[in-house]
Amino acid sequence: MHPDVVELRDFYARPLGGMVRRLLAHRIRARWRRTHGATLMGLGFATPYLTTFRAEAARVGALMPASQGAVVWPSTGAVHTVVVDEENLPLPDASVDNLLAVHCLEASEHARALLREIWRVLKPDGRIIIVVPNRRGVWARLDTTPFGHGQPYSPTQLKRLLSEALFTPIDLGAALYLPPIDRPLVLKSAMAMERLGARLWPAFAGVIMVEAKKELMAPIGKVSRIRVLRELVPARGVPAHRSTQDRCTRDGLQATGAGRCLIEACPSPHRPSWTSKPRHPSLLRRD
């Protein structure tokens, strides 16, 4: 379930949220250096990270799910916010160059359908950056920030999910090694914590950031072998005529005597093909 848009807006208005915005925006901008003339969309609550692209991208929009709610963005000028159904984006096929998903995938109840919709609107060479809470990180264990809500992911889980949706991960990174504590001492040493955490405990970052590109051809999966039974052997201790009678009863046939089936009324392919010397004499035995 998506966190409320008011909670998201208030978080980024706090000092801790401002530090998170600076740390993540720096990494996002490092991946997308050139967006001149591009169509760039943010999905979820990505407005804190879209401002840096407004000066050069041809079109910038903020797509906010209806279950989350929406705010007016930017605060001045034309409004670029659209309330959307995340599984039915109001965009043509192959119309977006770059899509940034923040506070989005972890809150979606249908992650695979969401990724397939993102795949539809991206151009053949389109790129996507997804930011999700890290399953091992402290930020995913505390609900004092928006990153403590929804479904956290491990790097392996996220890459597998993207591959199933016909995306190829090309870069995997992490951020937010500082604890989610809104204290001046923590915020002053945030940059030092980021550098130290990336070297000493990279697996315990607060969020995972992955950039992926759209694939137009599905990968070839592994071939699985199917076990084939060459011969059916009746179970020991179970009279065979009972299974024969039950089979005829299921097919709407009549049974007479001590469990003997009317073979003449049994249509193909249920009619037994017994020979004069059956391989299993117990099939003809009567109690």
- Per-residue pLDDT of 112-171, as tens digits, reads 999 999 999 999 999 999 999 999 999 999 989 999 999 999 999 999 999 999 999 999
* DSSP letter (8 states) at residue 217: S
CATH architecture of 5-214: 3-Layer(aba) Sandwich (3.40)
CA–CA dist 82, 65 (Å, integer): 9
Closest CA to 180 of 3, 23, 1: 23
Q: How many CB atoms lie within 10 A of CB 30?
A: 10
pLDDT digits (tens, 9 = 90+) for 214-235: 998 755 555 556 666 666 666 6
Closest CA to 206 of 170, 153, 158: 153
More confident residue, 236 or 123: 123
**Count H helices, E strands: the chain?**
8, 9
CA–CA dist 96, 85 (Å, integer): 17
Residues 66-78 have a mean pLDDT of 91
Question: CATH 3.40.50.150 in the chain, residues?
Answer: 5-214
Please say if the pLDDT value at position 103 is more than 70: yes
On average, the pLDDT of the chain sits at 83
For residue 197, give every residue at least 6 positions away whose Cβ sits within 8 Å of its Cβ, in sequence order, or none.
177, 178, 204, 205
CA–CA dist 261, 277 (Å, integer): 19
Q: How far, in whole angstroms, is CA 262 from its chain's centroid?
A: 56
**pTM (2 d.p.):** 0.75
3-class SS string, 6-50: HHHHHHHHCHHHHHHHHHHHHHHHHHCCCCCCCEEEEEECCHHHH
pLDDT digits (tens, 9 = 90+) for 177-194: 999 999 999 999 999 999
Beta strand pairing status for 255-256 and 260-261? antiparallel
pLDDT digits (tens, 9 = 90+) for 28-55: 999 999 999 999 999 999 999 999 999 8
Closest CA to 59 of 39, 35, 42, 78: 39
More confident residue, 286 or 93: 93
**Across the chain, where does the E strand assignment appear?**
39-44, 59-65, 81-84, 96-102, 122-133, 167-175, 207-214, 255-256, 260-261
Q: How confident is the model at residue 271 (pLDDT cuts 50, 70, 90)?
A: very low
